[in-house]
Amino acid sequence: MADTLAYLQEALGLLPDNTTRLISPDDVRRVHLSLVGDRGGVFADPAQGPWTVPIPAIDTWVDIPIAIGGGPAMVLGESLFWRKDSNGHLFYNYAADWPTVAVPAGYTRQVTLLGVVEFDPNGDTWEFGFTIGGVIQLPTFTIETAGQTDSTSATIISGDPVDVSAAPAVSLSVRNLSSDADLAMTLASFRTQGSVLAVAP
């Protein structure tokens, strides 16, 4: 029997006071599956660095966790209900950990996104953000490095709704606002953590 994901209020409704003993094992599995927090993570193996992430043109967004074109090969960390595609993006894959899951169309979770990048500032102005399904999400974070020579670390945090049923690629991205110089990077880490919404959006 399929275990269908539910929003918070629906999941709690599956567990009433069990005076008539109507709560089934399927109900318990659905509640647990729906309410448990998901998590995902990829990181660049330091032994393979440093890396140069190609910037094709000024003011052009580029995904950082790319396994092609000079970017780092991202390693999947400890994850639950998330997986990594061939380009190092993260995407929802409940069936990989729970094969009997059924994801309703449009089922959405609120996801906290965390990215950490260490890079050569190169005197440029860098803007970091997250993409979901190829679309940049707000807010973005800008770092001006004029006059800086030491390695710079950027921490990017955001929270966004993600359609679990569509399983879009989720990624950390960057663009150079002042030149077409490439991003010289020594460290990269990207994590996701999702939680159930109270009601359907």
pLDDT in tens, 52-92: 999 999 999 999 988 776 678 889 999 999 999 988 899 99
CB–CB of 66/183 below 8 Å?
no
CATH topology of domain 37-92+106-196: Jelly Rolls (2.60.120)
Q: Is the pLDDT of residue 148 over 90?
A: no
Q: What is the domain partition of the chain in residue ranges?
A: 37-92+106-196
Pick from 145, 100, 99: nearest CA to 124: 145
Residue 178: both structure tokens together: 């002042």
pLDDT of residue 103: 96
CB–CB of 191/84 below 8 Å?
no
pLDDT above 90 coverage of the chain, percent: 67
The pTM of this model reads: 0.91
